[in-house]
Amino acid sequence: MKKLVIDVLREALEKKDIKLTENEIEKYLEVPPSTEMGDYAFPCFFLAPKLKKSPEQIALELREHLGKFSKTDFDDIQTSGPYLNFFLNRKAFVLKTVREVLSQKDRYGRSGINKGKRVMIEFSQANTHKAFHVGHIRGTSLGESLSRIFEFCGSKVIRANYQGDTGMHVAKWLWCYEKYHKREKIKREESWIASIYVDAIKRLTSHETLQKQVDEINQKLTYGEDRHLYSLWKKTRQYSLDSLEKIYKDLNTKFDVYFFESEFDKPALKIVDDLLEKKIAKISDGAVIIDLKKYDLGVWVLLRKDKTVLYSTKDILLALKKFQKYKPHKSIYVVGAAQSLHLQQLFKTLELMKVKERGDCDFVPFAEVRLPGKKMSSRTGDNVLYSDFILETIDFTRKRLRKKDGKLSKKQLDDRALKISVAAVKYSMLKQGPNKNIIFKKQDALNFEGDTGPYLLYSYARANSILKKFNRIKNKNKAELKELGQIEFALAKKIHDFSEMVLAAYNSKNPSLIANYSYQLAQLFNEFYHFCPVIGSENEGFRVSLVSSFKQVLQNSLNLLGIETLEVM
């Protein structure tokens, strides 16, 4: 409905020889503090200098230029001092919104703003031989949500996962296992794999001289000089990948393309030679670097003194492979904020290389997930393992569900507990803007009241319960609207705002807008549920349609967050 107000205003402004875009008008448009002042208000202060008239006079003249407005769309358009106030025809607006939702269903809110454009979104990037802790859930959930939002806006999304399956962290793991844990049976368990890496860090920290042994292993891995080492790496790598796939399945996440760091070890040496030949890179103190100081991007190291490659060189090759093989119009990296400079250096290097196939590169940095009082780290073991946490959450949820319904089968109990638990942890990560640090407290994530994922699932299930009850009634009232209450209008307006919120999340690459919208929508529905009886009321038919619209839009919204709904809690 805001679009209609904008169109009416733009037409009136053009008559005053003032041309403003939709976005410019939208920036000035306000929602009055009271409904008695209208549904939208347009202030005229900023026009005074240009028109050399008082804002009050401008408001009156704009109202005159509006002429006869459609009673189908507006009950009235008034002036109040320097403001032009728009009063919607609320009944028409609400009925139109409900009709659109019920006819479009899961397509409601979709946009063709990026129709047909290929977008590669790289996210998660979990390393093998390390822990997948709750901090990793943030990047994984953010990337999956962005992928869904971009698809909802017409993009052809390619989900990519670039996993660190080689490098110094793997060398440390292999060294520690061979030297101190060789008698232990290799397990597919994430917690066991993570424990070896943590032990390696502790030993190396206590005895720095041992790092030379790790360096030797890293060189052998890079150049494939040791068959036994290669065999051990291959086996443990696969076990790590298997454990990660189980986690991705839990998190309702999928990937179309997998890239592995090990693919780029040897080709990376050639790209270093090419960059030296083109004088983009140079040798400095035995290492190969790119000097980007004149771009305020510091120095980017490509090759260590011992001739082993770094992430930088491999990322150049990864970018080239993305563009040459998949030809995306846009390539988006979802990365920890600490990697921001690294990606700026990468993008500048690709620019200096004058890569013809290069599409538009961008990145979405996300802040850290911290434990109370300290940073979460796979190196030190100061973290909460996903595998441990999700089991704890599922057990907590099972107990709550059992109290509510003791007749649930084990399969029903397990399925619901997993979906509710995943909703709890994913929502706790997505409701915060990507640029804000999250202090992760298990007791908060396990709280199923208030601004939480389970609260949203309960709201959805409550709406479904009303609809099931209505469908069992033989004598149903017609879907006519006799009288529209303020709460009904507020709920319908929030439902209508979904399309606008999707576009805002798309433009800002910020799923927290969708998450916060979902919570506000659920709050309004529960307020409506409390004050407006549905079954048996005079407005029964209309209210059932409104409940059905709410249920559909909440489902659409949660789907964009990668959260599955439950018909029954």
DSSP code per residue over 451-482:
SSHHHHHHHHHHHHHHHHHHHT-SSPPPS--S
pLDDT at residue 475 in the model: 65
For residue 378, pLDDT over 60 is answered with no
pLDDT at residue 375 in the model: 65
pLDDT above 70 covers what percent of the chain?
A: 96
* pLDDT bucket at 381, cuts 50 / 70 / 90: low
Residue type, 104: Q
Q: Give the 3-state secondary structure of residue 14.
A: helix
pLDDT, one tens digit per residue, over 360-373 is 999 999 998 887 76
Pick among 3.30.70.360, 3.40.50.620, 3.40.50.700, 3.30.565.10: CATH of 123-375? 3.40.50.620
CA angle 302/323/221 to nearest 5° reads 40
Rounded to whole angstroms, the Cα distance separating 418 from 402 reads 14
Give the residue carrying structure tokens 């890179």. 281
Cα–Cα distances (Å) from 351 to 277, 292, 328, in that order, read 17, 12, 16
For residue 70, pLDDT over 90 is answered with no
pLDDT at residue 60 in the model: 95
- 218 CB burial (10 A radius; 0-12, 13-18, 19+): buried
Rounded to whole angstroms, the Cα distance separating 88 from 32 reads 13
For residues 135 and 126, the model is more confident at 126
pLDDT at residue 457 in the model: 96
**Domain edges within the chain:** 2-88, 123-375, 386-560
Rounded to whole angstroms, the Cα distance separating 477 from 474 reads 10
User: Helices 540-560 and 453-471: crossing angle, nearest 10°?
Assistant: 140
Least reliable range by pLDDT among 139-143, 405-409, 443-447:
443-447
Phi, psi angle pair for 101, to nearest 5°: -65, -45
pLDDT above 90 covers what percent of the chain?
A: 71
Tell me the two tokens of residue 4.
């209609």
pLDDT at residue 435 in the model: 93
Least reliable range by pLDDT among 53-67, 118-132, 355-369, 484-498:
355-369
Predicted TM-score (pTM) of the model is 0.90
* pLDDT bucket at 222, cuts 50 / 70 / 90: confident
Instruction: Tell me which architecture the domain covering 386-560 has in CATH.
Output: Orthogonal Bundle (1.10)
pLDDT at residue 376 in the model: 57
pLDDT, one tens digit per residue, over 322-351 is 999 999 999 999 999 999 999 999 999 999
Q: Enumerate residues 6+ apart whose C-beta is below 8 A from 101.
A: 108, 495, 548, 549, 552, 553
pLDDT, one tens digit per residue, over 448-501 is 788 999 999 999 999 999 999 998 876 666 667 878 999 999 999 999 999 999
pLDDT, one tens digit per residue, over 184-197 is 999 988 889 989 99
| Residue 309 β-bridge partners | 303
**What does the mean pLDDT of the chain come to?**
91
Pick among 3.30.1360.70, 3.40.50.740, 3.50.50.60, 3.40.50.720: CATH of 2-88? 3.30.1360.70
Q: Enumerate residues 6+ apart whose C-beta is below 8 A from 491.
A: 521, 524, 525, 527, 528, 546, 550
pLDDT at residue 374 in the model: 61
For residue 224, pLDDT over 90 is answered with no
CB 457 within 8 A of CB 569: yes
CB 458 within 8 A of CB 389: no
For residue 432, pLDDT over 80 is answered with yes
For residue 13, pLDDT over 60 is answered with yes
Q: Give the range with max mean pLDDT: 377-391, 533-547, 554-568.
A: 554-568
pLDDT at residue 111 in the model: 92
